[in-house]
Amino acid sequence: MLMSLLVVGSVGIDTIETPFGRVENVLGGSATYIAAAASFFVTPVRLVAVVGDDFKREHIDFLESRDIDLEGLQIVKNGKTFRWGGRYRYDLNARDSLFTELNVFEHFNPIIPEAYRKSTYVCLGNIDPVLQRRVLEQIEKPRLVIGDTMDFWIKRKNAELNETLKLMDVLVINEAEARLLTNEPNLVKAARMIIHIGPKIVVIKKGEHGALLVTERTIFSAPAYPLEIINDPTGAGDAFAGGFIGWIAKSDDLSDDNIKRAVIYGSTLASFCVERFSLDRLKDLTHLEIHDRFREFRELSKFDEEVVVQ
Amino acid sequence: MLMSLLVVGSVGIDTIETPFGRVENVLGGSATYIAAAASFFVTPVRLVAVVGDDFKREHIDFLESRDIDLEGLQIVKNGKTFRWGGRYRYDLNARDSLFTELNVFEHFNPIIPEAYRKSTYVCLGNIDPVLQRRVLEQIEKPRLVIGDTMDFWIKRKNAELNETLKLMDVLVINEAEARLLTNEPNLVKAARMIIHIGPKIVVIKKGEHGALLVTERTIFSAPAYPLEIINDPTGAGDAFAGGFIGWIAKSDDLSDDNIKRAVIYGSTLASFCVERFSLDRLKDLTHLEIHDRFREFRELSKFDEEVVVQ
């Protein structure tokens, strides 16, 4: 049976400044990065999002070139696409939002096309937890629901978020958000607390420090790829989620061993994503490069059994 | 040939507060943690340090129980032992020094006993880089010199530290110090800059995020052990250095593969160290526990080759 993957989230236009350059009006949005990363594993990825009719043809062309199904992409007439501007500081770990114009995203109502309602895998990008739940209400028995969230929802819609978490199988969250959500500094304890709320699998993204996978039965620590040039961290977390769920959907295997592999594919896609601005690196990325980097991740973290010397 | 290991650094008395408890006048000091950790791999570890005659018999007894050679431990008559007090905050990543009384440590002049001058391996704990150099001037052709430093020396004695770095084969340093030393936020680049100064092997300790090894030919990312209970982070970096150099001295193998194993032994000793206050956990630690945890580190970071599903 062919597995299907549905991605719901934001599609937007970004203006980004990092110590290494500045780009204006480039493609962005959580669903964009997730879908593009996942498209290296499963096609067509089903995308549900909203844009205005100012959304450029070249962006549509790119999404179609990745074989992303756009039936669920709402294009609002006379509407303006969601825009975000951000600046990264010197060490790339902190960023300041320069502006956020929600535009058509403010009244986004995710309507799942009939053809998507039997999606096997569902990936909920970082949107209002109420909307995430509304998506799930329209899907018939998905095999796995993976979701993301952010500090904004943890602080402003905590009760709603907790309800939504109960419906997720996998939560992919960053380190600071995991601590904020649980009020627990120890990440392993924080992950166990999240498992207690609902998701049976928790992946904590730690940026330059890799990722931590915690399930009911296992703990896995994935290294970060030691990139010396990081031009733009935007979308790294979403590319991670896309590579992760893309691999799971492709392999259709929910064993712990395979979820570990998915974490490495997520890390692989994230590591490519940050090499260039916006989604530029994903435009010419090849399967061979993904394969090679997966192997490099193994080399990076592999060590032999001890040799007993007495 | 039997390998010998010389450790030079501080031996002191600590008062420590963490969110999980408070201990007064307990054993501490960089050389203490290094020597105790290394003593699980090579004995006797040769210790050069200074204390006052207020240094308690029970501490001497502990060091002797670990088969640490105390010929190089200077005991200053009517002198007071170095004392430090610190408090760790909620997340254990930040600490405040409450007091530092250098006492006899202020005029420490490391005199290497005749019997130690042919030590094969030398580990320089975090002391004034001028003193570190003075130690090396007294040693005949060591096979490997490993050293540590801290923000204080990076800021106050930068030129002296740079001279000393040229004489080190391995620098074991924490993340913040690596960035401070090189003024480079990217840790891989920072490590390469340090290699350019002198040490051919750089190990960057990242606390809860594990450790990064960079040599001229390889990069290795070691996970942190996912401890849920950390009572006292004091000495973790020194226990790491001790486990690291202890394994290298025991195996006498400087291949990249073996240095990776040493990073895991360092991580292993550090992970035990923080389970209890002061050096308490090292008092009843067994070789079997070390062996088992080394294997757990493998499980933690191991993932299989991908399965090709089309």
B204–chain A Cβ distance below 8 A for any pair: no
* pLDDT tens-digit series, residues B133-145: 999 999 999 999 9
Tell me if A287 sits within 8 A of B244, measured CB to CB. Answer: no
Nearest one of A4, A3, A62, A5 to A29, comparing CA atoms: A62
Asked if residue B106 has pLDDT above 60, the reply is yes
pLDDT attached to residue B251: 95
Alpha-carbon distance of A32 to A59, in angstroms, equals 10
Q: Do B228 and A188 touch (CB under 8 A)?
A: yes
pLDDT attached to residue A94: 81
A186–chain B Cβ distance below 8 A for any pair: yes
Alpha-carbon distance of B188 to A110, in angstroms, equals 42
pLDDT attached to residue B91: 77
Q: Which of residues 211 through 240 in chain B touch A, CB cutoff 8 A?
A: 212, 214, 219-224, 226-228, 230
User: Mean per-residue pLDDT for B217-233?
Assistant: 94
* pLDDT tens-digit series, residues B70-83: 999 999 999 999 99
A305–chain B Cβ distance below 8 A for any pair: yes
Nearest one of B281, A64, A294 to A286, comparing CA atoms: A294
Q: Do A223 and B224 touch (CB under 8 A)?
A: no
Structure tokens at B235: 């000495």
A264–chain B Cβ distance below 8 A for any pair: yes
Q: Do B188 and A226 touch (CB under 8 A)?
A: yes
Buried b (16+ CB within 10 A) or exposed e, A108-139: bebebeeebeebbbbbbbbbbbebbbbbbebb
Among B258, B300, B307, whose Cβ lies nearest the Cβ of A219? B300
Give how far the C-alpha of residue B144 lies from the chain's centroid of Cα atoms, to the nearest Å.
15
Helices A158-165 and A187-197, interaxial angle, to 10°? Answer: 80
Instruction: Report how far apart, in Å, the C-alpha atoms of A171 and of each of A130, A212, A240, B199, B286 are.
Output: 16, 12, 12, 42, 38
Identify the CATH class of A5-301. alpha beta
| CA within 13 Å, CB half, B129 | 22
Q: Which of residues 40 through 59 in chain B touch A, CB cutoff 8 A?
A: none
Bridge-based pairing of strands A201-205 and A45-52 is unpaired
pTM passes above 0.90? yes
Among A92, A251, A301, whose Cβ lies nearest the Cβ of B301? A301
Residues of A in contact with B212 (CB under 8 A): 226
Alpha-carbon distance of B192 to A260, in angstroms, equals 30
Residues of A in contact with B223 (CB under 8 A): 210, 221, 223, 301
Distance from CA of A306 to the nearest CA of B (A): 7
Q: Do A224 and B221 touch (CB under 8 A)?
A: yes
The residue in chain B having the minimum alpha-carbon distance to the alpha carbon of residue A176 is: B91
Tell me if A173 sits within 8 A of A204, measured CB to CB. Answer: yes
- For chain A (length 310 residues), average pLDDT per consecutive 10? 90 96 97 98 97 97 98 97 94 87 96 96 96 97 96 96 98 96 95 97 95 96 93 96 98 96 98 97 97 96 70
Asked if residue B254 has pLDDT above 80, the reply is yes
Which of the residues B306, B307, B308 would you substitute to probe the A interface, choosing the one with the greatest number of A C-beta atoms within 10 Å? B306
User: Mean per-residue pLDDT for B119-123?
Assistant: 97
Which of the residues B221, B229, B275, B307 would you substitute to probe the A interface, choosing the one with the greatest number of A C-beta atoms within 10 Å? B221
DSSP chain A: ----EEEES--EEEEEEETTEEEEEEEE-HHHHHHHHHTTTSSSEEEEEEEETTS-HHHHHHHHHTTEE-TTEEEETT----EEEEEE-TTSS-EEEEEEE-GGGGG---PPPGGGTT-SEEEE-SS-HHHHHHHHHTSS--SEEEE---HHHHHHSHHHHHHHHTT-SEEEEEHHHHHHHHT-SSHHHHHHHHHHHS-SEEEEE-GGG-EEEEESS-EEEEPPP--S-----TTHHHHHHHHHHHHHHHHT--SHHHHHHHHHHHHHHHHHHTTSSTTHHHHH--HHHHHHHHHHHHHHH--PPPPP--
Q: What is the CATH number of domain B5-300?
A: 3.40.1190.20
Among B92, B219, B222, whose Cβ lies nearest the Cβ of A226? B219
Nearest one of B277, B239, B171 to B34, comparing CA atoms: B239
pLDDT attached to residue A93: 76
Alpha-carbon distance of A224 to A206, in angstroms, equals 8
Nearest one of B237, B173, B234 to B27, comparing CA atoms: B234
A95–chain B Cβ distance below 8 A for any pair: no
pLDDT attached to residue B94: 81
CB pairs under 8 A between A and B: 113
Give how far the C-alpha of residue B114 lies from the chain's centroid of Cα atoms, to the nearest Å.
24
User: In sequence order, what E strands does B93-156 have?
Assistant: 95-101, 121-124, 144-147
A195–chain B Cβ distance below 8 A for any pair: no
User: Mean per-residue pLDDT for B44-67?
Assistant: 98
Structure tokens at A283: 């435009």
* pLDDT tens-digit series, residues B11-37: 999 999 999 999 999 999 999 999 999
pLDDT attached to residue A310: 45
pLDDT attached to residue B310: 46
